[in-house]
Amino acid sequence: MIHDLTTKGPRLDPAAHCLTLDAGVQSFLDRVVEAELLPYAPSLAPAVRRDIAVRLQADAPPVEEPVVHLTIPGAEAISLRLCRPAQGAARPLPVVFYLHGGLWALGGWDTHGGAAAALARSCGAALVFVDHGGMPATQALRQARAALDWTRAQGRDHGLDPARMAVAGDGSGGAMAALLAATLPPGEGFRLLLLFHPLVGPAAPDTPSSPWLDHCDLPALMAQAFPGQPAWTGLSPLDLAPDRLRRLPSTLILTAEADLAREGGEALARRLMRAEVDASALRLMGTIHDFFWLDGLADTAPTLSALAVAQRALTDAFGR
Protein backbone atom coordinates (compact mmCIF):
# COMPACT_ATOMS: atom_id res chain seq x y z
CA MET A 1 0.00 0.00 0.00
CA ILE A 2 1.33 3.44 -0.94
CA HIS A 3 0.15 6.46 1.08
CA ASP A 4 -0.68 9.36 -1.22
CA LEU A 5 -0.21 12.64 0.66
CA THR A 6 -2.39 14.51 -1.85
CA THR A 7 -5.49 12.60 -0.77
CA LYS A 8 -7.14 11.73 2.51
CA GLY A 9 -6.44 8.03 2.23
CA PRO A 10 -4.08 5.39 0.87
CA ARG A 11 -4.03 4.34 -2.77
CA LEU A 12 -3.20 0.93 -4.13
CA ASP A 13 0.22 0.11 -5.45
CA PRO A 14 -0.13 -0.32 -9.27
CA ALA A 15 1.33 -3.81 -8.84
CA ALA A 16 -1.82 -4.73 -6.92
CA HIS A 17 -3.70 -4.73 -10.23
CA CYS A 18 -1.48 -7.44 -11.72
CA LEU A 19 -3.14 -10.81 -12.16
CA THR A 20 -2.35 -13.32 -9.43
CA LEU A 21 -3.63 -16.85 -9.88
CA ASP A 22 -4.63 -19.22 -7.11
CA ALA A 23 -1.73 -21.59 -6.40
CA GLY A 24 -3.74 -24.64 -7.42
CA VAL A 25 -4.83 -22.98 -10.65
CA GLN A 26 -1.25 -22.00 -11.45
CA SER A 27 -0.07 -25.56 -10.78
CA PHE A 28 -2.72 -26.91 -13.16
CA LEU A 29 -1.69 -24.47 -15.87
CA ASP A 30 1.98 -25.35 -15.46
CA ARG A 31 1.14 -29.02 -15.99
CA VAL A 32 -1.08 -28.59 -19.04
CA VAL A 33 1.29 -26.16 -20.72
CA GLU A 34 4.21 -28.55 -20.23
CA ALA A 35 2.13 -31.47 -21.56
CA GLU A 36 0.76 -29.34 -24.43
CA LEU A 37 -2.81 -30.10 -23.39
CA LEU A 38 -4.42 -26.81 -24.40
CA PRO A 39 -7.69 -27.52 -26.24
CA TYR A 40 -8.18 -23.93 -27.39
CA ALA A 41 -4.79 -23.67 -29.09
CA PRO A 42 -5.08 -22.40 -32.68
CA SER A 43 -5.19 -24.60 -35.76
CA LEU A 44 -6.52 -27.71 -34.00
CA ALA A 45 -9.22 -29.81 -35.62
CA PRO A 46 -12.44 -30.14 -33.56
CA ALA A 47 -11.73 -33.85 -32.98
CA VAL A 48 -8.30 -33.01 -31.57
CA ARG A 49 -9.75 -30.35 -29.25
CA ARG A 50 -12.28 -32.83 -27.96
CA ASP A 51 -9.63 -35.52 -27.46
CA ILE A 52 -7.53 -33.12 -25.37
CA ALA A 53 -10.55 -32.20 -23.24
CA VAL A 54 -11.33 -35.88 -22.62
CA ARG A 55 -7.70 -36.56 -21.66
CA LEU A 56 -7.81 -33.70 -19.16
CA GLN A 57 -10.73 -35.44 -17.44
CA ALA A 58 -9.12 -38.90 -17.36
CA ASP A 59 -8.76 -38.89 -13.55
CA ALA A 60 -12.17 -37.41 -12.77
CA PRO A 61 -14.21 -39.53 -10.35
CA PRO A 62 -17.07 -41.52 -11.90
CA VAL A 63 -20.63 -40.30 -11.58
CA GLU A 64 -22.11 -41.76 -8.38
CA GLU A 65 -25.71 -42.01 -9.56
CA PRO A 66 -27.15 -44.47 -12.05
CA VAL A 67 -27.08 -42.82 -15.48
CA VAL A 68 -29.89 -43.38 -17.99
CA HIS A 69 -29.00 -42.59 -21.60
CA LEU A 70 -32.07 -41.50 -23.55
CA THR A 71 -32.46 -40.53 -27.19
CA ILE A 72 -35.28 -38.24 -28.24
CA PRO A 73 -36.43 -39.34 -31.69
CA GLY A 74 -37.11 -36.90 -34.47
CA ALA A 75 -35.45 -35.18 -37.39
CA GLU A 76 -32.42 -34.67 -35.15
CA ALA A 77 -31.87 -37.48 -32.66
CA ILE A 78 -31.03 -35.79 -29.36
CA SER A 79 -28.99 -37.46 -26.66
CA LEU A 80 -29.86 -36.96 -22.99
CA ARG A 81 -28.33 -38.28 -19.79
CA LEU A 82 -30.65 -38.55 -16.81
CA CYS A 83 -29.24 -38.94 -13.29
CA ARG A 84 -31.28 -39.49 -10.15
CA PRO A 85 -29.97 -40.17 -6.65
CA ALA A 86 -29.25 -43.86 -6.09
CA GLN A 87 -31.78 -43.89 -3.26
CA GLY A 88 -35.12 -43.16 -4.88
CA ALA A 89 -37.11 -40.19 -3.58
CA ALA A 90 -40.70 -40.52 -2.42
CA ARG A 91 -41.82 -37.65 -4.64
CA PRO A 92 -40.69 -36.24 -7.99
CA LEU A 93 -37.35 -34.49 -7.78
CA PRO A 94 -36.43 -30.97 -8.83
CA VAL A 95 -34.32 -30.80 -11.97
CA VAL A 96 -31.05 -29.20 -12.97
CA PHE A 97 -31.33 -28.90 -16.75
CA TYR A 98 -27.73 -28.59 -17.91
CA LEU A 99 -26.24 -27.25 -21.15
CA HIS A 100 -22.51 -27.83 -21.48
CA GLY A 101 -19.99 -25.44 -22.98
CA GLY A 102 -16.85 -25.97 -25.01
CA LEU A 103 -17.35 -23.41 -27.80
CA TRP A 104 -19.60 -25.92 -29.58
CA ALA A 105 -16.41 -27.89 -30.31
CA LEU A 106 -15.10 -29.91 -27.38
CA GLY A 107 -17.73 -30.50 -24.69
CA GLY A 108 -20.00 -33.42 -23.89
CA TRP A 109 -21.03 -35.89 -21.22
CA ASP A 110 -17.56 -37.38 -20.95
CA THR A 111 -16.03 -33.98 -20.18
CA HIS A 112 -18.77 -32.07 -18.32
CA GLY A 113 -21.08 -34.79 -17.03
CA GLY A 114 -19.31 -35.48 -13.75
CA ALA A 115 -19.31 -31.83 -12.68
CA ALA A 116 -22.96 -31.37 -13.69
CA ALA A 117 -24.01 -34.52 -11.80
CA ALA A 118 -22.15 -33.35 -8.68
CA LEU A 119 -23.90 -29.97 -8.90
CA ALA A 120 -27.34 -31.61 -9.02
CA ARG A 121 -26.39 -34.01 -6.23
CA SER A 122 -25.34 -31.15 -3.97
CA CYS A 123 -28.89 -29.78 -3.86
CA GLY A 124 -30.80 -33.08 -3.92
CA ALA A 125 -31.93 -32.70 -7.53
CA ALA A 126 -32.00 -34.88 -10.59
CA LEU A 127 -29.91 -33.97 -13.61
CA VAL A 128 -31.02 -33.73 -17.22
CA PHE A 129 -27.85 -33.30 -19.27
CA VAL A 130 -28.28 -32.34 -22.91
CA ASP A 131 -25.45 -33.90 -24.91
CA HIS A 132 -26.09 -31.57 -27.84
CA GLY A 133 -24.26 -32.08 -31.10
CA GLY A 134 -22.16 -28.92 -30.97
CA MET A 135 -21.57 -27.12 -34.25
CA PRO A 136 -23.32 -25.34 -35.77
CA ALA A 137 -24.44 -23.34 -32.76
CA THR A 138 -28.00 -22.87 -34.03
CA GLN A 139 -28.43 -26.65 -34.18
CA ALA A 140 -27.29 -26.98 -30.57
CA LEU A 141 -29.89 -24.45 -29.45
CA ARG A 142 -32.65 -26.27 -31.38
CA GLN A 143 -31.66 -29.52 -29.68
CA ALA A 144 -31.69 -27.84 -26.28
CA ARG A 145 -35.24 -26.60 -26.85
CA ALA A 146 -36.41 -30.03 -27.99
CA ALA A 147 -34.82 -31.58 -24.89
CA LEU A 148 -36.60 -29.06 -22.68
CA ASP A 149 -39.95 -29.78 -24.33
CA TRP A 150 -39.39 -33.51 -23.74
CA THR A 151 -38.50 -32.94 -20.09
CA ARG A 152 -41.59 -30.84 -19.47
CA ALA A 153 -43.85 -33.38 -21.21
CA GLN A 154 -42.27 -36.66 -20.07
CA GLY A 155 -40.37 -35.77 -16.93
CA ARG A 156 -42.90 -37.07 -14.43
CA ASP A 157 -42.68 -40.51 -16.01
CA HIS A 158 -39.02 -40.49 -14.91
CA GLY A 159 -39.55 -39.17 -11.39
CA LEU A 160 -38.91 -35.53 -12.25
CA ASP A 161 -40.86 -32.44 -11.22
CA PRO A 162 -40.99 -30.16 -14.29
CA ALA A 163 -42.48 -27.39 -12.15
CA ARG A 164 -39.21 -27.15 -10.20
CA MET A 165 -36.49 -26.76 -12.79
CA ALA A 166 -33.32 -24.69 -12.92
CA VAL A 167 -31.34 -24.23 -16.10
CA ALA A 168 -27.57 -24.09 -15.85
CA GLY A 169 -24.72 -23.86 -18.30
CA ASP A 170 -21.06 -23.03 -18.69
CA GLY A 171 -19.21 -21.14 -21.41
CA SER A 172 -21.16 -21.26 -24.66
CA GLY A 173 -23.73 -23.42 -22.88
CA GLY A 174 -24.38 -20.42 -20.65
CA ALA A 175 -25.45 -18.38 -23.67
CA MET A 176 -27.83 -21.15 -24.72
CA ALA A 177 -29.23 -21.45 -21.19
CA ALA A 178 -30.07 -17.75 -21.07
CA LEU A 179 -31.65 -17.78 -24.53
CA LEU A 180 -33.66 -20.87 -23.70
CA ALA A 181 -35.00 -19.27 -20.52
CA ALA A 182 -36.00 -16.18 -22.50
CA THR A 183 -38.25 -18.24 -24.80
CA LEU A 184 -40.59 -19.34 -22.01
CA PRO A 185 -43.77 -17.41 -21.25
CA PRO A 186 -44.02 -15.62 -17.90
CA GLY A 187 -45.05 -18.02 -15.16
CA GLU A 188 -43.90 -21.10 -17.08
CA GLY A 189 -40.17 -20.65 -16.77
CA PHE A 190 -37.30 -21.93 -14.69
CA ARG A 191 -36.82 -21.26 -11.00
CA LEU A 192 -33.20 -20.18 -11.55
CA LEU A 193 -30.72 -19.38 -14.33
CA LEU A 194 -27.22 -20.40 -13.21
CA LEU A 195 -24.26 -19.53 -15.42
CA PHE A 196 -20.63 -20.54 -14.91
CA HIS A 197 -18.06 -18.40 -16.78
CA PRO A 198 -20.61 -17.82 -19.58
CA LEU A 199 -19.49 -16.87 -23.07
CA VAL A 200 -22.39 -14.70 -24.18
CA GLY A 201 -20.89 -12.57 -26.94
CA PRO A 202 -17.63 -11.30 -28.42
CA ALA A 203 -14.74 -11.52 -25.96
CA ALA A 204 -13.16 -8.40 -24.49
CA PRO A 205 -9.53 -8.41 -25.69
CA ASP A 206 -8.21 -6.35 -22.76
CA THR A 207 -9.45 -8.74 -20.08
CA PRO A 208 -6.61 -10.47 -18.19
CA SER A 209 -6.23 -14.05 -19.34
CA SER A 210 -3.87 -16.99 -18.82
CA PRO A 211 -2.14 -19.64 -20.93
CA TRP A 212 -5.49 -21.47 -20.98
CA LEU A 213 -6.94 -18.93 -23.44
CA ASP A 214 -3.98 -16.69 -24.30
CA HIS A 215 -3.59 -18.17 -27.77
CA CYS A 216 -7.24 -19.02 -28.40
CA ASP A 217 -8.23 -18.07 -31.94
CA LEU A 218 -11.76 -17.15 -30.94
CA PRO A 219 -12.74 -15.62 -34.32
CA ALA A 220 -11.78 -18.85 -36.10
CA LEU A 221 -13.76 -20.96 -33.62
CA MET A 222 -16.76 -18.68 -33.99
CA ALA A 223 -16.54 -18.96 -37.77
CA GLN A 224 -16.83 -22.74 -37.40
CA ALA A 225 -19.75 -22.44 -34.97
CA PHE A 226 -21.61 -19.92 -37.16
CA PRO A 227 -20.90 -21.05 -40.74
CA GLY A 228 -21.95 -18.62 -43.43
CA GLN A 229 -23.09 -15.88 -41.06
CA PRO A 230 -21.61 -13.37 -38.61
CA ALA A 231 -20.62 -14.79 -35.24
CA TRP A 232 -23.29 -14.69 -32.53
CA THR A 233 -26.14 -14.19 -35.01
CA GLY A 234 -29.27 -14.81 -32.93
CA LEU A 235 -27.31 -16.41 -30.10
CA SER A 236 -26.08 -13.62 -27.84
CA PRO A 237 -28.22 -12.92 -24.76
CA LEU A 238 -26.74 -9.42 -24.80
CA ASP A 239 -28.85 -8.72 -27.90
CA LEU A 240 -32.16 -9.59 -26.23
CA ALA A 241 -34.66 -6.77 -26.00
CA PRO A 242 -35.65 -5.64 -22.48
CA ASP A 243 -39.06 -7.31 -22.71
CA ARG A 244 -37.34 -10.64 -23.45
CA LEU A 245 -34.82 -10.14 -20.67
CA ARG A 246 -37.67 -9.65 -18.21
CA ARG A 247 -38.76 -13.23 -18.90
CA LEU A 248 -35.60 -14.55 -17.29
CA PRO A 249 -35.85 -16.03 -13.80
CA SER A 250 -33.64 -15.15 -10.86
CA THR A 251 -30.11 -15.33 -12.21
CA LEU A 252 -26.70 -16.05 -10.72
CA ILE A 253 -23.63 -15.50 -12.91
CA LEU A 254 -20.24 -16.77 -11.73
CA THR A 255 -17.31 -15.39 -13.70
CA ALA A 256 -13.56 -16.04 -13.62
CA GLU A 257 -11.08 -13.22 -13.20
CA ALA A 258 -8.64 -14.52 -15.84
CA ASP A 259 -11.15 -15.09 -18.62
CA LEU A 260 -11.75 -13.39 -21.95
CA ALA A 261 -15.47 -14.11 -21.43
CA ARG A 262 -15.64 -12.32 -18.08
CA GLU A 263 -16.77 -8.90 -19.27
CA GLY A 264 -19.62 -10.36 -21.32
CA GLY A 265 -20.98 -12.32 -18.37
CA GLU A 266 -20.87 -9.31 -16.10
CA ALA A 267 -22.40 -7.10 -18.80
CA LEU A 268 -25.31 -9.54 -18.98
CA ALA A 269 -25.79 -9.24 -15.23
CA ARG A 270 -25.94 -5.45 -15.53
CA ARG A 271 -28.48 -5.64 -18.36
CA LEU A 272 -30.65 -7.96 -16.28
CA MET A 273 -30.49 -5.59 -13.32
CA ARG A 274 -31.56 -2.69 -15.52
CA ALA A 275 -34.46 -4.86 -16.72
CA GLU A 276 -35.40 -5.36 -13.04
CA VAL A 277 -34.58 -9.07 -13.06
CA ASP A 278 -33.37 -10.50 -9.75
CA ALA A 279 -29.76 -10.99 -10.87
CA SER A 280 -26.36 -11.09 -9.25
CA ALA A 281 -22.82 -11.77 -10.41
CA LEU A 282 -19.80 -13.01 -8.50
CA ARG A 283 -16.27 -12.80 -9.90
CA LEU A 284 -13.97 -15.60 -8.72
CA MET A 285 -10.50 -14.14 -8.28
CA GLY A 286 -7.45 -16.07 -9.34
CA THR A 287 -9.10 -18.61 -11.61
CA ILE A 288 -9.70 -19.24 -15.30
CA HIS A 289 -12.35 -20.08 -17.86
CA ASP A 290 -13.73 -23.63 -17.49
CA PHE A 291 -13.12 -23.79 -13.74
CA PHE A 292 -16.53 -25.42 -13.29
CA TRP A 293 -15.85 -28.65 -15.16
CA LEU A 294 -12.08 -29.14 -15.18
CA ASP A 295 -11.20 -31.93 -12.77
CA GLY A 296 -7.74 -30.42 -12.28
CA LEU A 297 -9.38 -27.36 -10.69
CA ALA A 298 -12.06 -29.17 -8.68
CA ASP A 299 -10.29 -28.75 -5.33
CA THR A 300 -9.09 -25.19 -5.81
CA ALA A 301 -10.49 -22.49 -3.54
CA PRO A 302 -12.20 -20.48 -6.31
CA THR A 303 -14.04 -23.52 -7.67
CA LEU A 304 -15.12 -24.70 -4.22
CA SER A 305 -16.38 -21.20 -3.39
CA ALA A 306 -18.33 -21.01 -6.64
CA LEU A 307 -19.95 -24.39 -6.05
CA ALA A 308 -20.95 -23.45 -2.50
CA VAL A 309 -22.70 -20.32 -3.76
CA ALA A 310 -24.34 -22.26 -6.60
CA GLN A 311 -25.57 -24.99 -4.25
CA ARG A 312 -27.20 -22.43 -1.97
CA ALA A 313 -28.87 -20.66 -4.90
CA LEU A 314 -30.26 -23.93 -6.28
CA THR A 315 -31.47 -25.12 -2.88
CA ASP A 316 -33.25 -21.82 -2.28
CA ALA A 317 -34.79 -21.84 -5.77
CA PHE A 318 -36.16 -25.36 -5.46
CA GLY A 319 -37.62 -24.55 -2.05
CA ARG A 320 -39.69 -21.67 -3.41
Q: In angstroms, rounded to a whole number, what is the distance separating the alpha carbons of residues 275 and 273?
A: 5
> What's the number of domains the chain is made of?
1
pLDDT digits (tens, 9 = 90+) for 284-302: 999 999 999 999 999 999 9
In one letter, which amino acid is 101?
G
Question: 233 falls in which pLDDT band (50, 70, 90)?
Answer: confident
Please give the angle made by the CA atoms of 160, 162 and 168, to the nearest 5 degrees: 95
pLDDT at 211 over 50: yes
Q: What's the N-to-C CA distance of the chain in angstroms?
A: 45
Instruction: Give the pLDDT mean for 85-99.
Output: 86
pLDDT band per the 50, 70, 90 thresholds, residue 10: low
pTM over 0.95: no
- Confirm whether 129 is domain-assigned: yes
18 vs 63: which has the higher pLDDT: 63
- CATH number where 141 lies: 3.40.50.1820
Domain assignment present for residue 1? The answer is no
* Of residues 154, 104, 95, 103, the one with CA closest to residue 129: 95
Domain range spanning residue 33? 23-53+67-319
The whole-angstrom separation of Cα 235 and Cα 240 is 9
17 part of a folded domain? no
140 in a domain, yes or no?
yes
Q: Is residue 118 part of a domain?
A: yes
pLDDT in tens, 157-168: 999 999 999 999
**How far is residue 170 from each of residues 10, 53, 231, measured CA to CA in Å?**
38, 15, 18
Top mean pLDDT of 65-79, 83-97, 305-319 is at 305-319
Separation CA 217–CA 45 (nearest Å): 12
4 lies in a domain?
no
Is residue 131, in this structure, part of any structural domain at all? Answer: yes
User: How many CB atoms are closer than 10 A to CB 75?
Assistant: 7
14 located within any domain: no
Cis peptide before 42, with omega less than 30 degrees from 0?
no
Beta bridge partners, 290, equal none
CB 167 within 8 A of CB 177: yes
Identify the DSSP state of 99. E
Model confidence pLDDT, tens digit, residues 33-70:
999 999 998 888 888 999 999 999 999 999 999 999 99
Residue-level pLDDT at 15: 44
